[in-house]
Amino acid sequence: MSVKNAMTADFLRSAYGGESMANQRYLVWGEAAEKDGFPNIGRLFRGVAYAEWVHGKNHFNVLKDELGDKTVVAGAIFGLKTVVDNLQGAINGEIHEVEQMYPVYLETANFQNEKDAQRSFRFALEVEKIHAKLFTDAQNLAKEGKDMGGEPIYVCPVCGYTEIGANVDKCPICGTDKSMFKQF
């Protein structure tokens, strides 16, 4: 895989940086949720952290033939507050990716005919929509002082698709068999 156009390459690096930071932030927030008595919301954060790692890996792999030092610029949400506040931070980040970041990145990759980048951006865009809903549902429970149920959380290792319970035979985004999904 290689990228011919500088703008798409810049967007891949930015997305890689953002996904890498989201991965770490969600791990921290998940640990905090568990300590605050929300073990299943903590598990959701860990599952989504893995999905963000998948996105970062996908973006990195599109650029794997590029060697050298690059400056990566990506916005990030910082802070450690209540589980409700941390979930709001997660929701805000996911909505930013869905409404602002990935549509622009995908349109650029389409315009520049960068097929591998298109695939990576499309996977991330579709999955981030799901993450926003999962975090919103979890936040609604947390606002009432309730944790999520204990159903397993499954994540596709190819695109990061995330679901609660095993409701599909294969990933609806990339087609990977559910037997390959990672369980949290």
In this predicted structure, the answer to whether residue 1 has a pLDDT above a threshold of 70 is no
Q: Which two tokens stand for residue 65?
A: 């033939």
Cβ within 8 Å of residue 6, ≥6 positions away? none
Least confident of 18-32, 64-78, 85-99: 64-78
The pLDDT value given to residue 67: 75
What range does the domain containing 18 cover? 6-147
The pLDDT value given to residue 99: 98
In a domain, 155, yes or no: no
Give tens-digit pLDDT for 108-164: 999 999 999 999 999 999 999 999 999 999 999 999 999 999 999 999 999 999 999
In this predicted structure, the answer to whether residue 55 has a pLDDT above a threshold of 80 is yes
In a domain, 118, yes or no: yes
In a domain, 180, yes or no: no
Count of domains in the chain?
1
The pLDDT value given to residue 70: 85
In a domain, 166, yes or no: no
The pLDDT value given to residue 81: 96
Tell me, what CATH number does 25's domain have?
Answer: 1.20.1260.10
The pLDDT value given to residue 167: 85
CA distance 10 to 105: 10
The pLDDT value given to residue 34: 98
In a domain, 1, yes or no: no
The H or E element spanning position 55 is: helix 39-62
Q: Is the pTM of this model over 0.75?
A: yes
In a domain, 183, yes or no: no
Give the model's confidence band at 77: pLDDT under 50 very low, under 70 low, under 90 confident, else very high.
confident
In this predicted structure, the answer to whether residue 41 has a pLDDT above a threshold of 80 is yes
Based on the number of CB atoms within 10 Å of its own CB, is 87 exposed (0-12), middle (13-18) or buried (19 or more)? buried
CA distances from 116 to 45, 70, 104, 175 (A): 28, 20, 16, 17
For the chain, give the percent of residues with pLDDT over 90: 89
Residue type, position 92, single letter = N
In a domain, 139, yes or no: yes
Mean pLDDT of 28-46: 99
Give the model's confidence band at 75: pLDDT under 50 very low, under 70 low, under 90 confident, else very high.
confident
In a domain, 177, yes or no: no
The pLDDT value given to residue 172: 98
The pLDDT value given to residue 181: 98
Cβ within 8 Å of residue 8, ≥6 positions away? 105, 108, 109, 112, 114, 117
What mean pLDDT is reported for the chain?
Answer: 96
